[in-house]
Structure 1
Amino acid sequence: MRLSEALGIVSPTVLSVVGAGGKTSLLMALSDQWEAERIPYVLTTTTRMAYEQVEHLAPIVEEEFHSGLQKALSDLGRFGRAGWFRSVKDGKVQGIPPEWVDRLCDYRCSWHLLIEADGAAGRLLKAPAAHEPVVPMRSDVTVGVLHLDAIGCPLDTTIVHRPGLVRPIVGKPNGALIEPEDLAKLALHRKGIFQGAAGKKILLLSGGVTDPAGDTMQRQWTEAIVDRLWKDGNGRIERVIRTKGYGREMRVSRLYRQP
């Protein structure tokens, strides 16, 4: 199944990605799919991304809205895609303000808008601070990402971004082992990964295993998480996607829809 199909994208969409442990992989794999299918898109962030992650887009770096808009529209016409950022510093691109993303929607007719709207310092799980995530109001879809490889690991800074914010949500002390229900809590809690989300909510559970035993274990974990979401979520999360692979090799393994 194609990523866009699993996400339910059938028309030009504003898609914001939050959470931890696979946000950039999702954006890169989805943009690769659309480039292969010659479907136009603009990629940006409302936080920061590593320059090397967007270098292939020959990114536009522009601090003025109308100038950046014209350059993005020009790249869309020439290449079928564009990457627009506000500045570059210390190997990272600084994203455009969320209100610019909302203004971009007025010019969008046949292209998708992809936004990395959260940061996680390379960790596999997180809970957002009060000012996070930075999701534009006109997002059609917010995808929350959590990584299944965190399960069985200790709740500490090696795995979790800001564990002090995660502990009260999952009800565990520092160093306790992470369980499937903890990922469900991070997806459902009002201060969890979907804090400030806009549009429909989709949970993506990423995983990198390729061996049959590991795949079976991650499938069982996912089903436990899905059962909890359907039981306690009151329909807030429309669907759950389990994926395999990292970076541009991310692929859909299973799609779960709200019954």
Structure 2
Amino acid sequence: MKLYKELNIDLNKKNIISVVGGGGKTTSIKVLSKELKDEGKRVLVATSTGIAIPKRDDYDNLFIGLLPNDFDPMKGSITYYAERTDDIKLKTQNISLIDEIIERKVFDVILIEADGSKGLPIKAPATHEPVISKYTTMTIGVVGLDSIGTIIDDKNVHRSELFRKLVGEEVKVIDSAAIFKLVQDENGLFKNSKGKRVLLLNKADNEFKIQQGRNIRESLKKSGTKILIADIRTNTYF
């Protein structure tokens, strides 16, 4: 199975894909970038917030600061770009830098990590989040199914206070109904989204989580959002 096929990505078109939420954004981007490289595509991976510094075998080119004006990526290559870096992450604060690269039209696919979750499986966005490029053709919202059954606190949820406001102060433990509210609320998972919406319910690694994912998919079947239940690390899709 291929993630890009499950997402119905048209390889004959330019794709600008922004990935938001928590519970597997970076892993999903890494899987997608390698699949698309294998298809001969010129792939750019960027961030409008921060993304973990990739391992050397995850990319062919890496640029910090500016992408050279004369840069011409090879077919079947992965290029990472960021405004700056520290010891842990590549970071970009100015989305216009990414938009300028998009406007050059030298890449076939641009994958943007457009949100931060501090490694937690689920989150609610703050006022300044997520940071979505105006050219985005698909927004993928990621939720880790391992969040189900956990208490809504800072150990399990990024921006837990905002999350409680979205799903209801009376809700203490995350369930499929809470995720439904997070997805549907205009200030929830798909806040600021552009293009086609895809909900990726990740970490479906046992029967309980798979069934919870199916419950969520059933409740959202009239929403117009494509819903994919998966365990990205094991390349398993339901």
- Decide: shared fold, TM above 0.5: yes
Which residue is equivalent to 1:3?
A: 3
Structure 2 residue 16 is matched with structure 1 residue 14: yes
Q: 1:221: which partner in 2?
A: 212
Would you say 1:48 and 2:50 are equivalent positions? Answer: yes
Code of the residue aligned with 2:218 in structure 1: it is D
Q: Deviations over 1:108-147 (max 9, x none)?
A: 2661001000000011110000000000011000000001
Query: Which piece of structure 1 moves more, 6-15 or 44-53?
Result: 44-53
Q: How does 1:152-163 map to 2 (within 5 A)?
A: 152-163=149-160
**Distance in structure 2 (CA, Å) of the matches to 1:204 and 1:53:** 24
**Equivalent pairs, count:** 235
The answer to whether residue 33 in structure 2 is matched with residue 37 in structure 1 is no
Q: Say whether the 8 Å CA contact 2:48–2:112 is kept in structure 1.
A: yes
**Cα offsets for 1:3-37 (capped at 9, x unmatched):** 11111111220000000111001001111212233
CA distance in 1 between counterparts of 2:58 and 2:8 reads 27
Match of 1:97 among 94, 98, 102: 94
Task: Please list the CA deviations of residues 58-86 of structure 1 after superposition, one character each: whole Å capped at 9, or x if unmatched.
Answer: 52112x4xxx1436x33x13862211111
Task: Give deviations 1:145-178, integer Å, cap 9, x for gaps.
Answer: 001011111111111001000001111447x221
Alignment of 1:241-256 (within 5 A): 241-246=228-233, 249=234, 251-254=235-238
Equivalent residue letter for 1:229 = L
Gaps of 5+ in 1: 255-259
Does the alignment pair 1:194 with 2:196? no
TM-score, reference length from structure 2: 0.90
Q: Does residue 183 in structure 1 map to residue 179 in structure 2?
A: yes
Task: Give, in whole Å, the separation in 1 of the partners of 2:29 and 2:56.
Answer: 10
Structure 2 CA distance for aligned equivalents of residues 79 and 6 of structure 1: 20
The answer as to whether partners of 1:148 and 1:207 remain within 8 angstroms in 2 is yes
Question: How many Å separate the matches in 1 of 2:77 and 2:57?
Answer: 16
Distance 1:101 1:217, change over 3 A: same
Instruction: Compute the displacement of 1:184 (Å).
Output: 1.3
Matched, 1:169 2:156: no
1:206 shift after superposition:
0.2
Q: What's the secondary structure of 1:203's corresponding residue?
A: strand
Q: CA deviation at 1:96?
A: 5.9
| Partner Cα separation in structure 1 for residue 17 and residue 236 of structure 2 | 17
Instruction: Report sequence identity in percent.
Output: 28
Amino acid at match of 2:215: A
Which moved further from structure 2: 111-120 or 85-94? 85-94
Matches of 1:19 and 1:54, distance apart in 2: 26
Deviates more, 1:147-156 or 1:53-62: 53-62
Match of 1:257?
none
Output the TM-score relative to the length of structure 1.
0.83
**Unaligned 5+ runs, structure 2:** none
Shift of the 78–12 alpha-carbon distance from structure 1 to 2, 3 Å rule, reads closer
Shifted more, 145-154 versus 102-111: the winner is: 102-111
Root-mean-square deviation over aligned CA pairs: 2.1
